[in-house]
Amino acid sequence: MKNGVVIVGAGHAGVQAAASLREEGYDGPVILAGDENELPYHKPPLSKTFIKDAEAKPQPLRGEAFYSGNAIDYRPGVRIDRIDVCARRLDVSGGGTLAFDRLVLATGSRPRLLRFEGAELAGVVSLRSLADARLIRELSAQSEDVVILGGGFIGLEIAATLRAAGRKVTVVEALERLLGRAVAPAIAAHVLQRLEAMGVRVLTGTTIVRLDGEGGRVRAAVTSDGERLPAQMVVIGIGVVPNVELAEAAGIAIANGIRVDQHMRSSIPEILAVGDAASYRHWFTGGDVRLESVQNATDQARLAARTILGHTEPYSAVPWFWSDIGDMKLQMVGLTQGGDSHVVLGEPAENKFSIYHYAGDRLLGIESVNRPADHMLGRKMLGAGFSPTPQTVAAGADALKGAFAGFQTIEPAKADA
> Residue 121: which of 236, 26, 206 has the closest Cα?
236
Return residues touching ligand FAD (CB under 6 A). Answer: 8-14, 33-36, 43-44, 46-47, 79-80, 106-108, 127-128, 154, 243, 246, 275-277, 292-295, 297, 321-323
Kindly tell me which of 129 and 223 has the beta carbon lying closer to ligand FAD: 129
Burial track 51-86 (b if 16+ CB lie within 10 A, e otherwise): bbeeeeebeebbeeebbeeeebbbeeebebeebeee
Minimum CB–partner distance for residue 212 and ligand FAD (Å):
27
CB atoms within 10 A of CB 266: 22
Minimum CB–partner distance for residue 90 and ligand FAD (Å):
9
Kindly tell me which of 9 and 123 has the beta carbon lying closer to ligand FAD: 9
CA atoms within 13 A of residue 268's CA, in its CB half-sphere: 21
Kindly tell me which of 10 and 191 has the beta carbon lying closer to ligand FAD: 10
DSSP symbols for 110-159: EE-----BTTTSBTEE--SSHHHHHHHHHHHHT-SEEEEE--SHHHHHHH
> Residue 150: which of 129, 124, 130 has the closest Cα?
124
Kindly tell me which of 118 and 242 has the beta carbon lying closer to ligand FAD: 242
Minimum CB–partner distance for residue 220 and ligand FAD (Å):
25
Minimum CB–partner distance for residue 93 and ligand FAD (Å):
8
Q: Which residues contact 43 (CB under 8 A, 6 or more apart)?
A: 11, 12, 128, 294
The Cα–Cα gap between 377 and 262 comes to 26
Kindly tell me which of 208 and 258 has the beta carbon lying closer to ligand FAD: 258
Minimum CB–partner distance for residue 417 and ligand FAD (Å):
22
Kindly tell me which of 217 and 329 has the beta carbon lying closer to ligand FAD: 329
Minimum CB–partner distance for residue 105 and ligand FAD (Å):
8
Kindly tell me which of 44 and 123 has the beta carbon lying closer to ligand FAD: 44
CB atoms within 10 A of CB 396: 12
Minimum CB–partner distance for residue 10 and ligand FAD (Å):
6
Minimum CB–partner distance for residue 296 and ligand FAD (Å):
6
The Cα–Cα gap between 386 and 91 comes to 48
Kindly tell me which of 126 and 232 has the beta carbon lying closer to ligand FAD: 126
Minimum CB–partner distance for residue 89 and ligand FAD (Å):
14
> Residue 305: which of 268, 340, 272 has the closest Cα?
272
Enclosing H/E stretch for 46: helix 44-48
Ranked by CB distance to ligand FAD, the top (closest) residue is: 11
Kindly tell me which of 45 and 230 has the beta carbon lying closer to ligand FAD: 45
> Residue 145: which of 178, 170, 120 has the closest Cα?
170
Q: Which residues contact 328 (CB under 8 A, 6 or more apart)?
A: 190, 191, 194, 351, 369, 370
DSSP symbols for 225-275: TS-EEE-SEEEE-S-EEE--HHHHHTT--BSSSEE--TTSB-SSTTEEE-G
Q: Which residues contact 391 (CB under 8 A, 6 or more apart)?
A: none
Kindly tell me which of 292 and 411 has the beta carbon lying closer to ligand FAD: 292
Minimum CB–partner distance for residue 408 and ligand FAD (Å):
27
> Residue 293: which of 51, 13, 35, 50 has the closest Cα?
13
